[in-house]
């Protein structure tokens, strides 16, 4: 789209709108050009992130939730988001920009499925969370080590096999043994899971897809902030 248009002459609001549209269409190169153009106009990295990338990803998330977009399109959009983030991340670190929260996410031990989990990680990053993605087949020790290292607000666990689902309880029991369960928001997801299972193992919530995971994470972070402020 931006081939037909000279983005250097566009009003900034239109440029941000175009960034959201190109992100929606999964056009990574165009998104990077638009991010750089915004930075060249002295916009702060945080403004480019929130008004351009995050705003665009929010529409992607809503349309995914409503069945307008499907996993392949969302993965394309998430890749475009990631390309824009590559430019912004070092600048955001330098400026100490605020983030919504942080998350450690991984597929549990014995399970090697990661498309859904990676989608959640990308969508969470797109919503302004710092995400540490542990990959697949993670033991209790992996989760505990990552928690110690990154001190996250949220732990996300994924499983696609009914045989690996029970391992989520093992991780949560370990968090209790370590005395850190109450410090963390625990979200679980994967095709065979449901709300009843999440409640039974002591998770805070079950998230049926990436869009719900983002909404749920934001809601829990808001509750946490309100409790701290009280």
Helices (H), 96-152: 115-126, 140-150
What DSSP element (H or E) covers 185?
strand 185-189
Q: Is the pLDDT of residue 3 over 60?
A: no
**Mean local confidence (pLDDT), 46-58:** 91
Task: Provide the CA 180 distance to its chain's centre, in angstroms.
Answer: 22
Q: Is the pLDDT of residue 190 over 80?
A: yes
Please state, in angstroms and rounded to a whole number, the distance separating the CA atoms of residues 103 and 81: 18
Of 20-24, 71-75, 178-182, the poorest mean pLDDT is in: 71-75
Return the number of other C-beta atoms located less than 10 Å from residue 95's C-beta: 12
Where do the domains of the chain lie, and which CATH numbers do they carry?
A: 1-98 (1.10.1240.10), 99-230 (3.40.50.280)
pTM for the whole structure: 0.80
Q: What is the pLDDT of residues 128-169, one digit of tens each?
A: 899 999 999 999 999 999 999 999 999 999 999 999 999 999
Q: What is the pLDDT of residues 8-48, one digit of tens each?
A: 999 999 999 999 999 999 999 999 999 999 999 999 998 99
């Amino acid at each position: 789209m931006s081939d037909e248009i000279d983005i250097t002459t566009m009003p900034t609001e239109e440029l941000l709108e175009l960034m959201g549209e190109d992100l929606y269409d999964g056009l990574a190169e165009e998104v990077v050009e638009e991010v750089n153009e915004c930075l060249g106009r002295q916009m702060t990295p945080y403004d480019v992130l929130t008004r351009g990338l995050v705003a665009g990803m929010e529409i992607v998330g809503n349309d995914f939730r409503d069945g307008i977009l499907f996993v392949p399109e969302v993965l394309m959009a998430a890749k475009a988001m990631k390309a824009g983030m590559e430019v912004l991340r070092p600048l955001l670190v330098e400026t100490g920009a605020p983030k919504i929260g942080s998350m450690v996410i991984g597929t549990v031990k014995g399970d090697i499925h990661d498309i859904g989990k990676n989608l959640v990680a990308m969508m969470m990053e797109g919503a302004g969370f710092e995400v540490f993605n542990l990959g697949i087949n993670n033991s209790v020790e992996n989760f505990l080590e990552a928690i110690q290292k990154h001190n996250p607000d949220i732990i996300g666990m994924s499983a696609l096999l009914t045989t690996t689902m029970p391992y989520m309880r093992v991780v949560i029991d370990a968090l209790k043994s370590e005395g850190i369960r109450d410090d963390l928001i625990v979200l679980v997801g994967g095709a065979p899971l449901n709300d009843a299972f999440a409640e039974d193992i002591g998770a805070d919530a079950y998230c049926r897809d990436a869009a719900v995971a983002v909404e749920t994470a934001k809601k829990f972070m808001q509750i946490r902030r309100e409790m701290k402020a009280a």
